[in-house]
Chains A and B, each alone.
Chain A
Amino acid sequence: MTLEERLNLVKRENEILLNMGPQHPSTHGVIRFIVRADGEIMVEALPVVGYLHRGIEKLAEQTPYTGFIPYTDRVDYLAAMFANHAYVMGVEKLLGIEVPKRAEYLRVIACELNRIASHLIALGSMAMDIGAFTPFLHGIRERELINDITEMLCGARLTYNYMRVGGVSKDIDDRIIKKINDFLDRFLPGFIDEFNRLITNNEILVKRCVNIATVSADEAINFGLVGPNLRASGVKWDLRKNMPYSVYPELKFEVPVGEGFRGEVGDSYDRFVVRVKEMEESARILKQAVSQLPEGEILAKVPKRIKPPKGEVYSAVESARGELGYYIISDGTENPYRVKIRTGSFSAMKAIHIKSQGCFIADLVVLIASMDIVAPEIDR
Chain B
Amino acid sequence: MSFTNYLANIRNSVVSIFEGMAVTFSWMLRRPHTVQYPDKVDKGHELIKEGFRGILEVDVSLCTGCLACQRTCPIGVILVEVSKGTERYITRFDIDAAKCMYCGLCTEACPTNAIRHTKEFAYSVDDIRKLVLHYIKEPVKPYKPVKDATPDNFNAGRFVSEIVKNREKEYVEYEAPSVKIPDGGQTEKEKN
Contacts and interface: CB of A to CB of B under 8 A. Distances in A.
Contact of B52 (A67, A151, A204): A151
B40 interface: no
A198 B24 CA distance: 8
Interface in B22-57: 22-24, 33, 48-53
A151 B16 CA distance: 37
Given A148-B49, A203-B12, A203-B16, A161 B104 contact: yes
A69 B101 CA distance: 12
Interface string A151-169: 1101110010100000001
Interface in A129-143: 134, 141
A64 B73 CA distance: 10
Interface in B1-27: 9, 12-13, 16-17, 19-20, 22-24
Given A63-B74, A67-B74, A155 B104 contact: yes
Interface string A4-25: 0000000000000000000000
Interface in B116-136: 117
A198 B23 CA distance: 6
A152 B49 contact: yes
Interface string B69-112: 00011100000000000000000000000000111110010000
A155 B52 contact: yes
A211 interface: no
Contacts of A155: 51-53, 102, 104, 117
Central interface residue in A64, A198, A201, by most chain B CB within 10 Å: A198
Contacts of A33: none
Contact of A197 (B20, B102, B104, B117): B20
A202 interface: yes
Interface in A63-84: 63-64, 66-71
B51 A170 contact: yes
A175 to B, nearest CB: 8
Contacts of A144: 33
A156 B101 CA distance: 11
Nearest to A74: B101
Nearest to A148: B49
Contact of B24 (A63, A67, A69, A134): A134
A197 B19 contact: yes
B20 to A, nearest CB: 5
A66 B108 CA distance: 11
Contacts of B20: 134, 197-199, 202
Interface string A167-207: 00110000000000000000000000010011101111000
A161 B103 contact: yes
B58 to A, nearest CB: 18
B23 to A, nearest CB: 5
A66 B104 contact: no
A193 to B, nearest CB: 10
Given A144-B33, A152-B50, A70 B105 contact: yes
Given A169-B108, A204-B13, A70 B101 contact: yes
Contacts of A199: 20
A201 B49 contact: no
A148 B34 CA distance: 13
A226 B5 CA distance: 37
Contacts of A154: 51
Contacts of B48: 151
Nearest to A161: B103
Contacts of A156: 52-53, 102
B17 A204 contact: yes
B130 to A, nearest CB: 24
Contacts of B50: 152
B29 to A, nearest CB: 14
B36 to A, nearest CB: 15
Contacts of A64: 74
Contacts of A63: 74
Nearest to B53: A155
Nearest to A144: B33
B12 to A, nearest CB: 5
A202 B17 contact: yes
B105 A151 contact: no
Nearest to B14: A203
B74 A197 contact: no
Contact of B16 (A148, A194, A202): A202
A203 B20 CA distance: 10
A155 B121 CA distance: 12
**A-B residue pairs, 5 tightest by C-beta:** A67-B74, A155-B53, A70-B103, A203-B13, A203-B16
10 contacts: A68-B74, A70-B103, A70-B105, A151-B49, A152-B49, A155-B117, A197-B20, A197-B22, A198-B23, A198-B24
Interface of B: 9, 12-13, 16-17, 19-20, 22-24, 33, 48-53, 72-74, 101-105, 108, 117
Given A67-B72, A156-B52, A169-B108, 9 more contacts: A69-B103, A70-B101, A134-B24, A155-B53, A161-B104, A169-B104, A197-B20, A197-B23, A204-B16
Interface of A: 63-64, 66-71, 134, 141, 144, 148, 151-152, 154-156, 159, 161, 169-170, 194, 197-199, 201-204
